[in-house]
Amino acid sequence: MRQITVLREGSQRLRVIRLTPAQQGAAQLIADGLAVPAEAHAQLDATLRALSGHFQVHADHDGSARELETESRLRAELSPLGEGLSLRLVVTPLGPLGPRLAPGGGRERLMAAVKGESLATVRDLKAELAHVAAVFDALPFLVPRAPESGEYDWTLADPEEALSVVEQLPGLAAVLAVEWPRGKEIRVVGADIPQLAVHIETESEWFKLVGELGVAEGLVLQLGQLLAWAGSHAGRFMPMGQGVYVALTRSLRARLRDLASVAHSVPGGIKVPLMAAPWLDDVLAGAGIDPDQHFRQRVARLRRARNRDAVLPPNLAAELRPYQEDGYRWGAGPCRLPRPASAPAWPTTWGWARRCRRSP
């Protein structure tokens, strides 16, 4: 029997097992199986207690070991790996200092020596697997890569997937703890639309916007910085340095990209055309905005116009097709383009109607 054995556990883990002389002797004794008569129950319990100081014991009898309520929730072990990370899900039925086991694997009854004391518990294997299923629901990209060995171990090379794991796991009820046994911890802090504060000031042809995104722990990002990043990156995670990332919600990420496609950078902020007021009002919905009076009035007029149905003139001597009626309502409604005060009211509409009368 070899004194040292190396076992592969997952894609990034090797377990080195070194047997002590006592462990070697016990292993040789039971290598071919050991039958114990029922009347030797007391001696078997004493033997199991002695063995639990050297092995993890999975047994139907636990003797006088102190019984604990099992812990079925998962512990997630994370380690940085280049731009990604490695993930391993384990359970610790006897507490954080006890054996770390693959969820749902092994026997239900477990006994082990923890800090010199024999402890025992009855695992809930179904609950352990249900917690794994909850992780899969939150992170479905893990499912097709789950190892067939029964060990829940992954190597995530994609930075977006790796950071999604760091973002999601701490908030799952199925996960008892997220641990970083090796390497520097990566932290992800969330940011959503209500954390965005924007001041709007009207200029001659533009709205000037000055804003910031307040993130946890006093971290503040300027609006211009956010738009520059959103316009040039496809992901949701903004690196802040020192292993810290800001996770933009998908809704906030989409709105920043929309704003970046229209806005122009100016000293101290960004500018957006005046005619984009209704669109800007929609994009900033839910954010903390501080608009000037002109912006408020402009948006109020547009909102009133949105609620008004443009009616065809009663003296219009034409029968309009449905798409032509829609075109009239669009042109006469809140989206109409401004015209000089001296311009005739219906030049395009009447000309269009005359052509309509001649059409078959």
Confidence class for position 155, pLDDT limits 50, 70, 90: very high
Q: Is the pLDDT of residue 125 over 80?
A: yes
173 and 82 together in one domain: yes
Q: Is the pLDDT of residue 154 over 90?
A: yes
Domain membership of residue 5 (yes or no) is: no
pLDDT digits (tens, 9 = 90+) for 201-238: 999 889 999 999 999 878 899 999 999 999 888 889 99
Confidence class for position 351, pLDDT limits 50, 70, 90: very low
pLDDT digits (tens, 9 = 90+) for 191-203: 999 999 999 999 9
Q: Is the pLDDT of residue 29 over 80?
A: no
pLDDT, residue 201, reads: 94
pLDDT, residue 63, reads: 56
Q: Is the pLDDT of residue 132 over 80?
A: yes
Residues of the chain with pLDDT > 70, as a percent, come to 74
61 and 100 together in one domain: yes
Domain membership of residue 20 (yes or no) is: no
pLDDT, residue 199, reads: 96
CA 33 to chain CA centroid, nearest Å: 49
Q: Is the pLDDT of residue 179 over 50?
A: yes
Domain membership of residue 18 (yes or no) is: no
pLDDT digits (tens, 9 = 90+) for 72-108: 999 999 999 888 999 999 999 999 999 999 999 988 9
pLDDT, residue 355, reads: 43
Domain membership of residue 16 (yes or no) is: no
- CA–CA distances in Å: residue 18 to residues 1, 2, 15, 306: 11, 9, 10, 77
Confidence class for position 33, pLDDT limits 50, 70, 90: low
Domain membership of residue 316 (yes or no) is: no
Average pLDDT for 335-352: 42
Average pLDDT for 153-181: 95
pLDDT, residue 56, reads: 59
164 and 226 together in one domain: no
172 and 71 together in one domain: yes
Residue found by looking up tokens 């800001």 in the block? 246
- CA–CA distances in Å: residue 260 to residues 199, 225, 228: 17, 11, 7
85 and 108 together in one domain: yes
pLDDT digits (tens, 9 = 90+) for 266-299: 888 999 998 888 889 899 999 999 999 999 888 8
Q: State phi, psi for 122 to the nearest 5 degrees.
A: -115, 115
Structural domain ending residue among the three candidates 127, 160, 185: 185
pLDDT, residue 359, reads: 42
- Name the domain count of the chain: 3
pLDDT, residue 356, reads: 44
176 and 257 together in one domain: no
Which domain does 197 fall in, by range?
191-306
Domain membership of residue 84 (yes or no) is: yes
Q: What's the per-residue H, E or C state across the chain?
A: CCCEEEEEECCCEEEEEECCHHHHHHHHHCCCCCCCCHHHHHHHHHHHHHHCCCCCECCCCCCCCEECCCCCCEEEEEEEECCEEEEEEEECCCCCCCCCECCCCCCCEEEEEECCEEEEEECCHHHHHHHHHHHHHHCHHHHHHCCCCCCEEEEECCHHHHHHHHHHHHHCCCEEEEECCCCCCCEEEEECHHHEEEEEEECCCEEEEEEEEECHHHCEEEHHHHHHHHCCCCCCEEEEECCEEEEECHHHHHHHHHHHHHCEEECCEEEEEHHHHHHHHHHCCCCEEEECHHHHHHHHHHHHHHCCCCCCCCCCCCCCCHHHHHHHHHHHCCCCCCCCCCCCCCHHHHHHHHHHHHCC
Contact (Cβ atoms closer than 8 angstroms) between residue 103 and residue 111: no
Q: What's the length of the chain?
A: 360
172 and 224 together in one domain: no
Structural domain ending residue among the three candidates 185, 205, 227: 185
Token pair of 260 as six digits:
């970046």
Domain membership of residue 269 (yes or no) is: yes
Contact (Cβ atoms closer than 8 angstroms) between residue 273 and residue 208: no
**277 versus 341: which is more confidently predicted?**
277
- CA–CA distances in Å: residue 89 to residues 104, 253, 255: 11, 30, 35
Domain membership of residue 32 (yes or no) is: no
The mean predicted confidence, pLDDT, of the chain is 82
Confidence class for position 60, pLDDT limits 50, 70, 90: low
Confidence class for position 145, pLDDT limits 50, 70, 90: confident
Q: Is the pLDDT of residue 248 over 60?
A: yes
